[in-house]
Amino acid sequence: MIRRFFVLLALPGLTLLGVSGCSKQPALDPAVVAKHRTALLLEEEPDGAQTVLEVREAMFGAPSDTGVPHDHDGDGVADHAPEDHPADDHDHDGDGKADHAAEEHAADEHDHEHAEGEADHDHDGDGHADHAAEDHDHAHDAKKPLVEELDVVLVGSVGGVPNPSDQAMPDFPFAKNQAIFFLVDPEVAAEAEEHAHTHAPGEECAFCAAHAGDSAHAIAVVQFPGENGKPLAVDARDLFELKEKEMVVVKGKAKANSDGSIIVDATGVYVRR
């Protein structure tokens, strides 16, 4: 069960967990903060690190096939299966004219199968195929995690992409006064850096607003819980002297939510410096 101090935000392609301010804890004593820093900050980088997208695939399965032909030979042209070019095989009698009998037969079979398929879907007898139940099943399957919890070593960038929600996460990629940060898949962060859209600080940008949620699927929420199960009441920037776009390796337990989000209860972090 994902804890209640998170609120759900509807984002394109994914419902990402944002941090709400409804759970306030008293600030930790500096001596206690130093103790947590010593316990959580790893001196050596753990082995076997995976990216956010790799962990997502392990927990939710591979992304659905787009059906787009692939260019395997690198010539810039999509490769097609041999059946896409059957013209050479149609002239079986050597008279230079294509034989269409088999082709027409295949078309007849296709029409017959299509008619049968429509009959199978028309459950209420109104002549229309019923797809509601089938679509509902596919939608449900797409959200259901294959693995709900997984011990992970996760590598990524602290932020490095546009804030998916300025209102819910004003301190993205951190959470004010909580040991939380948002970890972005390193390849996605690198691509965002390469194609960064710049403008004046504080300037409202329609382009940034329109594409703010594009990277939501590549973000994991990393939290460092205390004994009460809630994030430690200290800002991750202060706890680890952490800055945006730094590369880190996190060790902990990832939890997959049915809305597609991933939360990591971290037991340690290594900062690549």
Q: What is the pLDDT of residue 5?
A: 35
pLDDT attached to residue 94: 53
Give 3-state DSSP helix, strand, coil % of the chain, rounded to 5. Answer: 30, 20, 50
Q: What is the mean pLDDT of residues 227-255?
A: 97
Tell me the residue type at 22: C
Residue 48 dihedral angles phi and psi, to the nearest 5°: 75, 30
Q: Which residues pair with 184 in a beta bridge?
A: 157, 219
Q: Which residue has the higher pLDDT, 56 or 198?
A: 56
Query: What is the DSSP secondary structure assignment for residue 169, as one 8-state letter?
Result: -
Dig out the tokens for 8 from the structure.
Answer: 């759900």
User: Residues 19, 175: contact at Cβ < 8 Å?
Assistant: yes
From the list 64, 27, 11, 21, the residue with the least C-alpha distance to 226 is 27
* More confident: 169 or 209: 169
Confidence check: pLDDT of 194 > 60:
yes
Q: Per residue in 126-173, pLDDT tens? A: 544 444 444 434 433 446 899 999 999 999 999 999 888 888 889 999
Instruction: Write down all domains in the chain, each with its CATH number in brackets.
Output: 6-61+146-271 (2.40.50.140), 104-143 (no CATH)
Instruction: Give me 5's structure tokens.
Output: 């101090």
Structure tokens at 171: 């301190």
104 vs 242 pLDDT, higher one: 242
